[in-house]
A and B are shown apart, each in its own frame.
Chain A
């Protein structure tokens, strides 16, 4: 009898949770909830539209494919470009034809078919130890230079940020040369790839390595956390390949889910995220480079100086994504 009762309660709970999904927007996000929640809260304040965020590190595309036309997702936020392309390739998103979006977001940061829009830009920087190396005029190619043997720290090669970097090397140098470079880089590692971008900077501070690979905004984030300030202060931030093609950049972005049931509100949210207010938040809270031309990066980010960005169109990177993953396996980068 007890079982029957608990089953009944369980059934009610399940259906109740399905039933209250009325006029809410649902965001599937690859971005950490705490990064996007403040911005979404402002949107709710402004429009009265509630937003639910489902955060996943991986597998959002798979989830949406499975959910098909029943998917509750309205918008997908990604922290990396390859994920945007994956959504497009798997036919999970639809074009948004919005004047506001096109005005706010420059052409090079959106899809020619309007089916994805970038929101922020970040650089894959090379950090160097202030004491032991100082500021460097360095190229990604130099990561394989034997003079740095045992001096480099990085997170897993399989992380999207590193996959994109490898993909850009394939795009510029071809697969064979990229493989040689990757082997050289692996040979220079101070320890097997582990931890996140911040942990690499911490390792530099501790003297475990002299060079760390990491995204630009992490330096800003570390300066906001009292415990991590000493880590950030132990490194110089370098923008690689300034004398040639420019630094590898990646973008975070958004797309409208194909089966969104609240398209009008979803487009409102997309427009809001490209607006000056939200772009300012991205710049100030997350220390990223806003894509909207008239919004300036935060003072701190600006203080790192101007830099030359790699002009390779971001969607070209997507073509080499799978090749990059395979290369990483072949050279056993993480093992």
Chain B
């Protein structure tokens, strides 16, 4: 839409996008390799169940997460009630919890042998499982609720930011025109926050599709577990690639549908910081209800699992306290730090190009780059390993050609491969949150800047960056925490002798002995809290 962006920018954008979709292409190429009819066998037996499980789970988690996150975001952004200040940041805490840890804790609490059902049996003198009905935690519904409890902060964070940035003058206008507070919410705030809710829901859906540990622990087979089993159980990479292709189809059609539904919406508003006068004060019962709602949400999504983790850690402290911790924590931390910076740079660059390029086609790089997130870690691992193994061999061949000893697996045998994988998987998060911020910068600003003779680089640095700060912080934070928690990719790609907190904890979870790994799980959570608190501080300072 704006002239004056040289082709070099586009080229860089396309180059980044190409690197990011490389694994995807590797998977697709792999899907065309014949697979000795493994896929045919799966198709005739278990595949329909896998597909329906996957779709139902994604829908279930999205709906649950939207239902619990939107009211919380609205309350915190727009209302005064006791504890609001604390909830503002506390409701982000569940993000630091790995889903499989929460799943483990709730299973322990709620299954037949857990304290909840034990107590019930004791009270009502039930003897056997047939004497009463209790919902099965290890089920599709259980998995939906547990994943929603862990993932809802994505929607909460983006929605809260959107609600806060909604100009209060619009709000006032709606009230002057006779809308009550509810009407004003339904007809104005909610539609205006829809892009943010949609991005949040897409993230949640993709996270759900990619989740491996929770569903396998809950014995709810989905396409992700099917990919894993087919690749490693049947030893058929190409059948696994075919399954991945089906999965991507499901995910992309969902996201495509969402975007299609929003195609005519355009939304511009003047940046006005959240101004306290637009916040309505809740009193009496309303205030109590608001506080109660947020408290319960926080209790179930974070406090309860965390307290139980502490209890485990306390019980098994002596045997699990060792020096290895510091090493694992450091591994998790530095990888998360590197990846979050790279991902945000990619996000800003690609969205900037898409925004000011005169060529319509330049919207492509950011779209393509966002597909990385749709690849479950397991699948992504295969897709990365194929090309990089080739590269490794090429490097070694070159060395040997010159009569030198080869350096070994430089790419696939080092942390490079994990960092690369994480960048591919999580750039989409950064792209999403940067794009969301960009949407609220009116294009007339760009026009004005260009009229004043600003070059693209200056426009980016001097005009956009200051306005994007919130989106960038949110992106950094989300990517960082994702990296702390990401499991399948780390599990499959880690070099020899490398262990991080997630892989370490998962060993215990899969062995149903989380008690022994609780301390490490707590470290994951605590390390995740540091950036949360930092982010929140910076957001508050801006206000």
Contacts and interface: CB of A to CB of B under 8 A. Distances in A.
Interface of A: 2-3, 6, 10, 13-15, 17-18, 21, 26, 32-34, 52-59, 61-62, 66-68, 70-72, 86, 90, 156, 158, 190-196, 198-199, 202-203, 205-208, 227, 322, 325-326, 329-330, 332, 334-335
Contacts of A191: 136
A3 to B, nearest CB: 6
4 cross-chain pairs, A with B, having the tightest CB-CB distances, nearest first: A58-B232, A194-B219, A206-B113, A52-B497
B416 A10 contact: yes
13 contacts: A3-B341, A13-B414, A33-B507, A53-B497, A58-B228, A62-B237, A66-B412, A67-B413, A86-B235, A190-B129, A206-B112, A329-B41, A335-B46
Q: Max chain B CB contacts within 10 Å: which of A158, A195, A329?
A: A329
Contact of A6 (B341, B412, B497): B341
Contacts, number: 135
B409 A14 contact: no
A202 B498 CA distance: 33
Given A14-B415, A58-B233, A325-B233, A203 B113 contact: yes
A3 B342 contact: yes
Interface in B462-511: 491-492, 494-498, 507, 510-511
Interface stretch (B61-69, B161-169, B283-291, B385-393): B385-393
B112 A13 contact: no
Given A34-B507, A198-B512, 10 more contacts: A6-B341, A10-B419, A15-B407, A18-B409, A54-B497, A57-B510, A62-B232, A67-B389, A208-B129, A334-B221
B409 A67 contact: yes
A56 B495 CA distance: 12
Interface residues of B, number: 59
Contact of B393 (A33, A68, A205, A227): A68
A199 B419 contact: no
Contacts of B407: 15, 18
B511 A325 contact: no
Contacts of B412: 66-67
Contact of A72 (B45, B221, B408, B510): B408
B235 A61 contact: yes
A195 B513 CA distance: 11
B46 A18 contact: no
Given A55-B507, A206-B112, A335-B46, A26 B496 contact: yes
Contact of B491 (A26, A56, A70, A334): A56
A310 B218 CA distance: 33
A2 B231 CA distance: 39
A17 B232 contact: no
B507 A32 contact: yes
B498 A17 contact: yes
Given A208-B129, A332-B45, A70 B393 contact: yes
B495 A17 contact: yes
Contacts of B414: 13-15, 17-18
B253 interface: no
Nearest to B50: A335
Contacts of B235: 61-62, 86, 90
A67 B345 CA distance: 32
A13 B415 contact: yes
B499 to A, nearest CB: 8
A190 B136 CA distance: 12
A15 B315 CA distance: 40
A205 B111 CA distance: 13
A59 B231 contact: yes
A202 B341 contact: no
Given A59-B231, A70-B406, A52 B496 contact: yes
Interface in B42-56: 42, 45-46, 49
B534 interface: no
Contacts of B232: 58-59, 62
A70 B408 contact: yes
B5 interface: no
Nearest to A202: B113
A334 B231 CA distance: 18
A322 B127 CA distance: 41
Nearest to A226: B315
Interface string B110-139: 001100001000000001110000001010
A72 B409 contact: yes
B394 to A, nearest CB: 11
Contacts of A67: 389, 409, 412-413
Contacts of B496: 21, 26, 52, 54, 72
Interface in B234-254: 234-235, 237
A195 B408 CA distance: 39
The residue in B393, B396, B413 that gathers the most chain A C-beta atoms within 10 A of its C-beta is B413
B393 A3 contact: no
Contact of A17 (B229, B415, B512): B415
A166 B412 CA distance: 36
Nearest to B42: A329
Contacts of B406: 70
A209 to B, nearest CB: 9
A191 to B, nearest CB: 8
Contacts of B342: 3, 6
Contacts of B334: 13
B179 interface: no
B338 interface: yes
B118 to A, nearest CB: 8
B298 interface: no
Nearest to B385: A66
A17 B232 CA distance: 27
Nearest to B407: A18
Contacts of A21: 408, 496
B49 A332 contact: yes
Contact of B511 (A15, A32, A158, A326): A32
Interface string B203-246: 00000000000000011010000001101111101000000000
A224 to B, nearest CB: 11
Contacts of A207: 112, 127-129
Count chain A CB atoms within 10 A of each CB in B42, B112, B128, B498 and give the residue with the most.
B112
A191 B137 CA distance: 12
Given A15-B414, A158-B229, A208-B112, A194 B138 contact: yes
B113 A205 contact: yes
A14 B416 contact: yes
B126 to A, nearest CB: 10
Nearest to B341: A6
A61 B236 CA distance: 12
